Protein backbone atom coordinates (compact mmCIF):
# COMPACT_ATOMS: atom_id res chain seq x y z
CA UNK A 1 0.00 0.00 0.00
CA UNK A 2 1.45 3.33 -1.02
CA UNK A 3 0.94 6.40 1.16
CA UNK A 4 -0.92 9.32 -0.35
CA UNK A 5 1.36 12.18 -1.34
CA UNK A 6 -0.13 14.55 1.21
CA UNK A 7 -2.46 13.04 3.81
CA UNK A 8 -5.16 15.68 4.25
CA UNK A 9 -5.29 15.76 8.04
CA UNK A 10 -4.43 13.44 10.87
CA UNK A 11 -6.17 13.66 14.22
CA UNK A 12 -5.17 11.80 17.35
CA UNK A 13 -7.03 12.04 20.63
CA UNK A 14 -5.71 10.80 23.96
CA UNK A 15 -8.44 10.57 26.64
CA UNK A 16 -8.46 9.47 30.24
CA UNK A 17 -10.36 6.23 30.79
CA UNK A 18 -10.48 5.64 34.54
CA UNK A 19 -6.86 4.94 35.59
CA UNK A 20 -5.55 4.52 32.04
CA UNK A 21 -5.54 6.44 28.76
CA UNK A 22 -7.23 5.60 25.46
CA UNK A 23 -5.94 6.61 22.03
CA UNK A 24 -8.25 7.38 19.09
CA UNK A 25 -6.97 8.02 15.55
CA UNK A 26 -8.85 9.61 12.65
CA UNK A 27 -7.74 10.15 9.07
CA UNK A 28 -5.06 8.39 7.08
CA UNK A 29 -3.11 6.00 9.30
CA UNK A 30 0.21 4.53 8.22
CA UNK A 31 -0.15 0.73 7.75
CA UNK A 32 2.59 -0.04 10.28
CA UNK A 33 0.69 1.95 12.92
CA UNK A 34 -2.75 0.69 11.83
CA UNK A 35 -1.54 -2.83 12.66
CA UNK A 36 -1.08 -1.72 16.28
CA UNK A 37 -4.62 -0.33 16.59
CA UNK A 38 -7.95 -2.13 16.71
CA UNK A 39 -10.57 -2.12 13.96
CA UNK A 40 -11.88 1.24 15.24
CA UNK A 41 -8.39 2.82 15.08
CA UNK A 42 -8.16 2.81 18.89
CA UNK A 43 -5.61 1.56 21.39
CA UNK A 44 -6.35 0.81 25.05
CA UNK A 45 -4.81 0.90 27.54
CA UNK A 46 -2.03 3.33 26.76
CA UNK A 47 -0.07 5.73 28.95
CA UNK A 48 -0.28 9.50 29.05
CA UNK A 49 1.44 10.99 26.00
CA UNK A 50 4.77 12.73 26.64
CA UNK A 51 4.11 16.06 24.95
CA UNK A 52 7.63 17.34 25.65
CA UNK A 53 9.03 14.34 23.80
CA UNK A 54 6.59 14.90 20.93
CA UNK A 55 7.47 18.62 20.74
CA UNK A 56 11.20 17.86 20.59
CA UNK A 57 10.73 15.12 18.00
CA UNK A 58 8.60 17.29 15.74
CA UNK A 59 10.89 20.33 16.15
CA UNK A 60 14.01 18.32 15.24
CA UNK A 61 12.30 17.15 12.04
CA UNK A 62 10.87 20.61 11.23
CA UNK A 63 7.34 19.21 11.23
CA UNK A 64 4.70 21.69 12.42
CA UNK A 65 1.63 20.35 14.17
CA UNK A 66 -0.94 21.45 16.73
CA UNK A 67 -1.94 20.03 20.08
CA UNK A 68 -4.33 21.24 22.73
CA UNK A 69 -5.83 20.13 26.00
CA UNK A 70 -9.45 18.99 25.92
CA UNK A 71 -12.02 20.13 28.48
CA UNK A 72 -11.88 16.71 30.13
CA UNK A 73 -8.09 16.64 30.47
CA UNK A 74 -7.26 14.77 27.28
CA UNK A 75 -4.93 15.80 24.48
CA UNK A 76 -5.91 16.48 20.88
CA UNK A 77 -3.16 16.36 18.23
CA UNK A 78 -3.48 17.41 14.57
CA UNK A 79 -0.99 17.32 11.71
CA UNK A 80 -1.13 17.85 7.95
CA UNK A 81 1.01 16.81 5.02
CA UNK A 82 4.54 15.60 5.79
CA UNK A 83 3.97 16.34 9.48
CA UNK A 84 1.31 13.63 9.54
CA UNK A 85 3.92 11.05 8.50
CA UNK A 86 6.28 12.31 11.20
CA UNK A 87 3.49 12.03 13.81
CA UNK A 88 2.96 8.39 12.83
CA UNK A 89 6.68 7.71 13.24
CA UNK A 90 6.53 9.15 16.77
CA UNK A 91 3.33 7.24 17.54
CA UNK A 92 4.89 4.00 16.29
CA UNK A 93 7.72 4.43 18.80
CA UNK A 94 5.26 5.40 21.56
CA UNK A 95 3.20 2.23 20.97
CA UNK A 96 6.34 0.07 20.70
CA UNK A 97 7.33 1.18 24.22
CA UNK A 98 3.98 -0.25 25.38
CA UNK A 99 4.72 -3.61 23.76
CA UNK A 100 2.40 -3.10 20.78
Let me know if residue 50 belongs to a domain: yes
Let me know if residue 76 belongs to a domain: yes
Element (H, E) at 40: none
Let me know if residue 32 belongs to a domain: yes
Distance CA 97, CA 65 (A): 22
Q: Per residue of the chain (100 residues), give pLDDT as tens.
A: 565 555 568 999 999 999 999 999 998 888 999 999 999 999 999 999 999 999 999 999 999 999 999 998 899 999 998 999 999 999 999 999 988 8
Domain extent for 16: 10-97
| Predicted TM-score (pTM) of this structure | 0.85
Domain count, the chain: 1
Let me know if residue 2 belongs to a domain: no
Distance CA 12, CA 55 (A): 15
Let me know if residue 52 belongs to a domain: yes
Amino acid sequence: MQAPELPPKIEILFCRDHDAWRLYAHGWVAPYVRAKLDEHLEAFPVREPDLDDLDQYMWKLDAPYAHSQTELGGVSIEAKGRSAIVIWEWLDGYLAKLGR
